[in-house]
Structure 1
Amino acid sequence: MAGKSLNRVQLIGNLGKDPEIKYTPQGTPVAKLTIATNERFKDKAGEWQDRTEWHNVVLWQRLAEIAGEYLKKGGKVYIEGRLQTRSWDDKTSGQKKYMTEVVASDLILLGGRGEGGGGGDFAGSSRGASSSAGGGNNFDQRTPEPEPASAGPITDEDIPF
């Protein structure tokens, strides 16, 4: 039975390193980055514990370009997107490998100047970008973009990571 479902991820965290920008053979920009989120909880003994979770994020087209220009290691960022698991055969071991990633559809820089956030308030989205009402740079980059599949289906071989 086919029913309604939801695949949506929202993250606020810090970049573990500068984004890695590459291009598909068709010239489509794609960015890969990792975001750390932190959780604080009490263990069985009642002691506070901190746990860091690392999330792999992939951004396509204009969002990838924005990430390359404005995101820096340590910067705080909001990412919205969907979970996607891809698989491939490892060429050295012959084993099937899996990776679950967040495919971003929205990006908002939360850190200001001096915080690794890329210099000002900025919001970007694959549906278009809008500027924050705060200080810093006011960008308005409204660019309607087709889905990544508009140039044909993207296979694992197209992903340059």
Structure 2
Amino acid sequence: MSVNSITLVGRAGRDPEVRYFESGTMVANLTLAVNRRSRDEEPDWFNLEIWGRTAQIAADYVKKGSLLGIVGSLKMDHWKDRNSGEERSKPVIRVDQLELLGSRRDNAAPMDAGGSEPEPGGTGSTGGEEAPF
């Protein structure tokens, strides 16, 4: 039996970077800072890759500092460095589930034409903690 499942709670290190493909699919990439138990330690940083409808939710509602909960799997991205020709790789978390955990104020989105905030589907709302950056 094999298991490749990762659950993290942390804060977005930057606004999502979104790319659209000719097929209509989209991907959002961002970093997630996860604090250690001790406040004296630096947070751990993770690269996130989010696809499809969940990527659209990230693009619409996630901004730098947003408190997020994610469930996903670890994968390795591999590429050849254009300058040196060396093989490179980095670990990436492919997100399957995304939860917006901060308060409504933390996750505030632009007002729609009707003057009310859009309501993201399937999101929780709990108090936040200090951002690690």
TM-score by length of 2: 0.79
> How big is each residue's C-alpha offset from its partner over 1:102-137, in whole Å with a ceiling of 9 and x where there is no partner?
00000010011222x2468745xxxxxx355x6xxx
**Displacement after TM superposition at 1:40 (Å):** 3.0
Q: Aligned AA for 1:40?
A: R
Q: Work out which of the residue numbers 79, 94, 98 in structure 2 matches 1:107.
A: 98
1:97 maps to 2:88? yes
Structure scoring higher RCO (CA < 8 A, sep ≥ 6) equals: 2
Q: Is 2:100–2:123's contact at 8 Å kept on the other side of the alignment? A: no
Identical aligned residues as a percent: 35
The reply on whether 1:40 has 2:41 as its aligned counterpart is no
Equivalent residue, structure 2, for 1:44: none
Structure 1 residue 37: Cα displacement: 0.4
d(CA) in 2 for partners of 1:118, 1:10: 24
Q: Does structure 1 residue 72 correspond to structure 2 residue 53?
A: no
CA distance in 2: counterparts of 1:94 and 1:131, whole angstroms? 43
Show the counterpart of 1:144.
none
Count of equivalent residues: 118
Q: Which of the residues 2, 24, 27 maps onto 1:27? A: 24
Q: Specify every segment of 5 or more residues in structure 1 that has no aligned partner in the other structure, as ranges.
A: 42-47, 124-129, 135-161
1:50 positional shift: 2.0
| Aligned with 1:61 (options 52, 63, 81) | 52
Matched, 1:51 2:37: no
2:95 maps to amino acid: A
CA distance in 1, matches of 2:81, 2:21: 20
* Structure 1 residue identity aligned to 2:100: L
Q: Which amino acid aligns with 1:50?
A: E
Which residue is equivalent to 1:85?
76
RMSD: 2.2
Give the aligned partner of residue 9 of structure 2: 12
Q: Which runs of 5+ in 2 are unaligned?
A: 110-116, 126-133
Partner amino acid, structure 1, of 2:74: L
Bigger CA radius of gyration? 1
Q: Distance in 1 between matches of 2:105 and 2:98?
A: 19
Which residue identity is paired with 1:106?
A: Q
